[in-house]
Amino acid sequence: MNSVMNGIEALVCALRAAGVQSVYAVPGYPITELAEHVIEHMRPRARWVISEKSAFEMAFGGSVSGRRTCVITKHVGLNVLSDPLITSATHTIGAGLVVITGDDPLALGSQNEQDSRYYGLLAEVPVFDPNPHNLMGCVASAYMLSERTRAPAIIRLTSRLLEAECALESLSIPREPLSSYDHGVWSLTLHGKHQRFYRDAHPLMRQEAEHTSLNRLVHRGEDVVISSGYASYVVERALEAGGLDVSHLSLSLVNPLPLSLLSRALSYRRVLVVEEPYPFIEHHIATHEHVRGRTTGHITSTGIGEEDVLWALERLDTEKLEPEYVPQSLDMRGYRHYICDNCPFLPLLEALSELDVPVAGDVGCVIRSAPEPMAAVDVALALGSAVGVASGFPEGGIAVIGDFALLHSALPSLVHARAWSIDVLVVVLKNSVAAITGGQWLPELELLDDVVRGICPEVRVVSCSALDRDGWHELLSTLLEGHGLRMVIAEGVCPEG
Ligand code: SF4
């Protein structure tokens, strides 16, 4: 490498080199710091958005108008934007649209590990999985391939890549000449759109996957390791440290997979697949008896290190290994056993824990009140889910949810509860920031009161400083005696945020 910078800085350089005109980001581990950096260096072209679906739709609007755009989201945010993402490939886009998504191997700051590469299969769009040597090159290729195929491209990252020393490349990212709106799409049936996609776009993706220098097979010996993304970097270091003559197929364009390169790799005597968090590549080739990896117990966990690669290589002759339990730290999101001592919502959450009704929480700070000894909430499914889940409690119950989560994705459930007079008490923790991700402020949060007053017939706004635990207990007990949709907005200032 001529010159190095960390993954965050390298991405900012690449986005600027690509001439990206609009970036829409939703905070969440592990991409919060990246997005903050992008917003700082690309303002006013980059901004926070409250929902990934809105972010993608705005990026799409910019793309079809001829602007290169980008969405930055964490892996579970990809679930939220998947609806327009999947349709956009056959609808066609305009200028390059790239979704940068952060996966979280070991779930250090998330409710699951989830592997974003699978969205490439579902949406039939290219997926890039960069390593520190080619991160900037992946951004360039993603924009160019997105424009040639008129489909969005996904770049999958992990926290280790963002922190790694990455190669600084001088990029030239030419633009495809495009007419801004593809009006030809309206003369095609739904099936016709898909046929056109398979005729025009898919062969370009396959060709690129086979011939790009981002996918490389280095021949060194009769065994081979197949890897992708940051894991490729770990594999190279492991082979170097172990002084091993093992061949290496390193992939950074993983959807579509380069089938002829994979077929060449499968002709080696023994094959080990090293990837995270899920066995995405391995699932495609696991029927070959000499393939080892996660499904055979050779790769035991995510967060793969050099020692894990060397350990697996020593055991290639063993067909299946016993699973190993990997202890994880308790001081993780979802398992952290405490709300901050100085949290303004603490008395409210303590009062909740004393009420004998089911409580649906959310995966913002509220989830920290779920474990014993506080046990304030009974379930917490996903961001924005509390109102819907509590509306499903047969005898009624409480939804406790942050202001960010409510506006992110709980409004349809709120409307449903109002329309069907469902007995649910919604407790909104309003601190006007996205507290759990570091206190990002979004202008949408200022609109909370106006939005909910149009939906809820009964809204009480209470300052957290006005009530102690007993006061909250009394207020919530009184509100629980009512029927239909009721809401209390608890206002507090998050000292951490
Ligand atoms: S980050 Fe803020 S809102 Fe979240 S628990 Fe701590 S003090 Fe409360």
Q: What is the mean pLDDT of residues 198-217?
A: 97
Do 428 and 448 form a contact (C-beta atoms < 8 A)?
yes
Tell which one of 368, 436, 491 to mutate to probe ligand 1, the residue whose CB is within 8 A of the most ligand atoms.
436
Strand (E) or helix (H) holding 203: helix 202-211
pLDDT value at 65 more than 50: yes
**Residue showing tokens 């000449």:** 177
Q: State the fold for domain 346-491.
A: Rossmann fold (3.40.50)
How far, in Å, is the centroid of ligand 1 from the Cα of 247? 49
Q: What is the mean pLDDT of residues 27-54?
A: 94
3-state helix, strand, coil in the chain (%, to 5): 40, 20, 40
4-211 domain in CATH 3.90.1560.10? no
- pLDDT, averaged across the chain: 92
486 pLDDT band, cuts 50/70/90, is very high
pLDDT value at 328 more than 60: no
pLDDT value at 333 more than 80: no
The DSSP call for residue 434 is B
pLDDT value at 292 more than 50: yes
**pLDDT-wise least confident of 139-148, 363-372, 379-388, 486-495:** 363-372
| Cα–Cα distance, 156 to 115 (Å, whole number) | 9
**Protein residue with its CA nearest to atom 3 in ligand 1:** 494
User: Ligand 1: which atom is nearest the Cα of residue 435?
Assistant: 1
Do 9 and 37 form a contact (C-beta atoms < 8 A)?
yes
More reliable by pLDDT, 292 or 375: 292
What percentage of the chain carries pLDDT values higher than 90?
A: 78
Q: What is the mean pLDDT of residues 293-310?
A: 94
Residue spans of the domains in the chain: they are 4-211, 216-314, 346-491
Instruction: Provide the token pair at 421.
Output: 């007079």
pLDDT value at 28 more than 60: yes
How far, in Å, is the centroid of ligand 1 from the Cα of 378? 19
How far, in Å, is the centroid of ligand 1 from the Cα of 318? 49
Q: Look at residue 497 in the predicted model and tell me its pLDDT.
A: 61
Asked if domains 4-211 and 216-314 share a fold, the reply is yes
How far, in Å, is the centroid of ligand 1 from the Cα of 495? 7
| Cα–Cα distance, 39 to 235 (Å, whole number) | 33
**Protein residue with its CA nearest to atom 8 in ligand 1:** 343
How far, in Å, is the centroid of ligand 1 from the Cα of 270? 51
Q: Look at residue 336 in the predicted model and tell me its pLDDT.
A: 52
334 pLDDT band, cuts 50/70/90, is very low
User: Ligand 1: which atom is nearest the Cα of residue 365?
Assistant: 4
pLDDT digits (tens, 9 = 90+) for 427-452: 999 998 888 788 888 888 889 999 99
pLDDT digits (tens, 9 = 90+) for 242-281: 999 999 999 999 999 999 999 999 999 999 999 999 999 9
Conformational region of residue 61, where left means phi above 0, alpha means psi within -120 to 50, and beta covers everything else: alpha
Q: Look at residue 177 in the predicted model and tell me its pLDDT.
A: 81
Tell which one of 29, 337, 340, 366 to mutate to probe ligand 1, the residue whose CB is within 8 A of the most ligand atoms.
340
308 pLDDT band, cuts 50/70/90, is very high
pLDDT value at 411 more than 80: yes
pLDDT value at 324 more than 70: no
Tell which one of 32, 336, 365 to mutate to probe ligand 1, the residue whose CB is within 8 A of the most ligand atoms.
365
Q: State the fold for domain 216-314.
A: Rossmann fold (3.40.50)
How far, in Å, is the centroid of ligand 1 from the Cα of 105? 25
Strands 69-74 and 22-25: parallel
The identity of residue 289, as a single letter, is: E
pLDDT value at 332 more than 50: no
Instruction: Provide the token pair at 257.
Output: 């997979």
pLDDT digits (tens, 9 = 90+) for 133-189: 999 999 999 999 999 999 999 999 999 999 999 988 888 898 888 766 788 888 888
pLDDT digits (tens, 9 = 90+) for 69-103: 999 999 999 999 999 999 999 999 999 999 999 99
Residue 272, strand partner residues: 225, 292
How far, in Å, is the centroid of ligand 1 from the Cα of 479? 25
Do 71 and 99 form a contact (C-beta atoms < 8 A)?
yes
Q: Look at residue 442 in the predicted model and tell me its pLDDT.
A: 81
How far, in Å, is the centroid of ligand 1 from the Cα of 494? 5
User: Which residues does ligand 1 sit against, CB inside 6 Å?
Assistant: 339-340, 343, 345, 365, 431, 435-436, 494-497
| Cα–Cα distance, 104 to 491 (Å, whole number) | 32
**Residue showing tokens 């996904």:** 154
**Residue showing tokens 């094959």:** 271
pLDDT value at 330 more than 60: no
